[in-house]
Amino acid sequence: MKLFDFNKYFPDEKACRKAFKEMRDREGVVCQHCGSHDVVWLESKQQYQCKHCRHRTTLRSGTVMHGSKLPFMYWFIAMHLLTATKKSISAAELQRQLGHKRYQRLVTKQEHP
Ligand SMILES: [Zn+2]
């Protein structure tokens, strides 16, 4: 996908968030409390809720975005740059492309479980 198309498919944060949810739905969401796959999406809360124990899971929870405050769009652009470039892209280059000041904030490990 070219960057032009990328902008067409993911023009804003809302579109990115929606696409991310669709990805999670395809993979299947598992309740982190009881392990059930039986969850419903609460549109008003923007969270999944387990049908069994009613435990709620955020859209980011259990993903690379877990604990991140960065916008979804940021991650979509980062993922796009990582997959669209044939040659590997350095962290510094990614940082430059995203106009981000601090490389550390791109770290995807789960900092706040
Ligand atoms: Zn549950």
Query: Which residues, chain by chain, have CB under 5 Å from ion ligand 1?
Result: 31, 33-34, 36, 50, 52-53, 55
How many angstroms does the Cα of residue 41 sit away from the middle of ligand 1? 13
Question: What's the whole-model pTM score?
Answer: 0.66
How many angstroms does the Cα of residue 70 sit away from the middle of ligand 1? 27
Q: Give the model's pLDDT for residue 80.
A: 77
Q: Give the model's pLDDT for residue 1.
A: 58
Query: For the chain, what are the domain ranges?
Result: 3-106
In whole numbers, what is the pLDDT of the chain averaged over residues? 79
Q: Is residue 50 within 8 Å of 71, Cβ to Cβ? A: no
How many angstroms does the Cα of residue 35 sit away from the middle of ligand 1? 6
Q: Is residue 59 within 8 Å of 17, Cβ to Cβ? A: yes
Mean pLDDT for the stretch of residues 37-49: 95
Output 97 or 45, whichever has higher pLDDT: 45
Confidence of residue 107 (pLDDT cuts 50, 70, 90): very low
Residue 103 has pLDDT above 60, yes or no: no
**Lowest-confidence segment of 2-11, 87-96, 102-111 by average pLDDT:** 102-111
Element (H, E) at 40: strand 39-42
Confidence of residue 88 (pLDDT cuts 50, 70, 90): low
Backbone angles phi, psi at 57, to 5 degrees: -125, 130
How many angstroms does the Cα of residue 20 sit away from the middle of ligand 1? 21
